[in-house]
Amino acid sequence: MPPQNSAPIFQPATPRSSHSTLIMTVLGILLLVALVFGVWAFSGRQSAKNNANSQAASAASAAAASQKTTDQAAFADQLKQPYKSFTGPATYGSIKFSYPKTWSAYVDQSGSSEPINGYFYPDIVPAVNSNNNTAFALRVELVANTYSSEIQQYQSQAQQGALKASAYVPAKLASTAGVQRGTRFDGTLNTTQTGSLIIIPVRDQTLLVYTESTDFLNDFNKIVLPSLTFSP
């Protein structure tokens, strides 16, 4: 009896096994693609989320800063109330206006050519001599000069564009008979000061009301000028 060969007999792959291998390969590739896409999509969403959170945090910080500024401004306005009031002599038209209670005043009423010469400034009024370059919050002068002579001092600046001129009548006196129209100047008052100036005739004299700094312009426009009045 011839000996039997126990070695396995090689059988070539069948078409079915080739198809299975191909399918598994394709599935593996698709799974890898899906995995890569998933990682990319997750990374994108995470980045978008981080950006959104960062933007939200920035917006919240800006809103908080804005609210803080608003609250501080409101608190500062509250400190200014109730307003103080200045009233000049009846002989010179009883000039009257309000100003913040946080301001102090120095008013010289002893001069015959300048019956009212007032200086107003927060807390303590600085020295009022000519050597002091302080930009006062408010200056009030009643002078014996004519209205036209006072206006003339600022005409060249207005023509050059350093000052903007406009007609002015105190709001409280808009319908009062006998009140003459004045002029308001806004801009560079002199070489060192920028602010706003009101010049208006009061009887046979001239009233000047002005702020020498834009830092006080809000109080000038909202407190002083709306309360300004006098007897024509």
Ordered DSSP codes for 92-104: GT--EEEE-TTEE
On the 0-12 / 13-18 / 19+ scale of CB atoms within 10 A, 231 is middle
| Spatial contact of 88 and 203, defined as CB atoms under 8 Å apart | no
Q: What is the pLDDT of residue 164?
A: 97
CA–CA separation, 201 and 218 (whole Å)? 24
Q: What is the pLDDT of residue 108?
A: 96
Q: What is the pLDDT of residue 27?
A: 80
Q: What is the pLDDT of residue 9?
A: 54
Q: What is the pLDDT of residue 5?
A: 55
Q: What are phi and psi of 124, to 5 degrees?
A: -120, 135
Q: What is the pLDDT of residue 194?
A: 95
Q: Which amino acid is at 218?
A: N
Q: Would you give the distance in Å from CA 96 to the centre of its chain? A: 29
Alpha carbons within 13 A on the beta-carbon side of 123: 2
CA–CA separation, 55 and 131 (whole Å)? 52
Q: What is the pLDDT of residue 106?
A: 97
Q: Which amino acid is at 15?
A: P
In 3-state terms, what secondary structure has residue 14? coil
DSSP annotation of 196: E
- What are the Cα distances from residue 106, in Å, to 68, 109, 122, 140, 197? 34, 10, 12, 10, 19
| Spatial contact of 228 and 142, defined as CB atoms under 8 Å apart | no
Q: What is the pLDDT of residue 6?
A: 56
Q: What is the pLDDT of residue 203?
A: 94
CATH of segment(s) 84-227? 3.40.1000
Q: What is the pLDDT of residue 7?
A: 54
pTM for the full model? 0.71
Among 131, 211, 195, residue whose Cα is nearest residue 157 = 195
Count Cβ atoms below 10 Å from residue 208 Cβ, excluding itself.
19
The series of mean pLDDT values per 10 residues for the chain, 232 residues long, is: 54 63 80 80 78 79 78 81 96 97 96 95 90 91 97 93 96 95 96 94 97 97 98 94
Q: What is the pLDDT of residue 184?
A: 98
